[in-house]
Amino acid sequence: MGRLDAISVSTMQASLIDDVPAIRIGAGCTRRDLSSDGSVRVWVVDMEPGSTWPYVDDHDTGEHYYVIEGEVIEGRTRFGAGTYVRFLPGTSHRPRTESGVRLIGFNLDPAAMTAAREAASRAHRFNYSQG
């Protein structure tokens, strides 16, 4: 398969993940920020064997990720390739790996979450069918 150039048409964007610049987060840990609509952050994390995320990761809006390859360890629990992991809003974690891991994840942008809550509140206040 040949290289895929970024494609941008009115309804689609595509790029090879490994062509997205990697941001070094800490020793053995990188993140690639993928394009999104601004309300959701989408990223790929690569962690080398024996690495630990350099800080505790707090999630006001929660976090979701899917383990593509390798294994990630959260506390004492190991999640291998093919596992979907979800952290609820207000939680935190500090992943590590012994074997190395690649995962793709997403979470809501906190500003977008606040705007959605405000819109829901306005919709409820002005719903005349509820009296």
pLDDT band at 13 (very low <50, low <70, confident <90, very high): confident
pLDDT value of position 15: 85
Domains, in order of start, for the chain: 7-126 (2.60.120.10)
Kind and range of the H or E run holding 34: strand 29-34
Q: Which of 3-7, 27-31, 36-40, 123-127 has the lowest mean pLDDT?
A: 123-127
How far apart CA 70 and CA 81 sit, in angstroms, is 6
- Please answer whether residues 43 and 95 qualify as being in contact, where contact means their C-beta atoms are separated by less than 8 angstroms: no
pLDDT value of position 14: 84
What pLDDT, in 10s, does the model give residues 39-73?
888 999 999 999 999 999 888 888 999 999 999 99
Nearest to 72 by CA among 44, 58, 52, 57: 52
Q: Residue 108 CA to chain centroid, in angstroms?
A: 9
How far apart CA 29 and CA 103 sit, in angstroms, is 12
Q: Does 110 or 66 have the greater pLDDT score?
A: 66
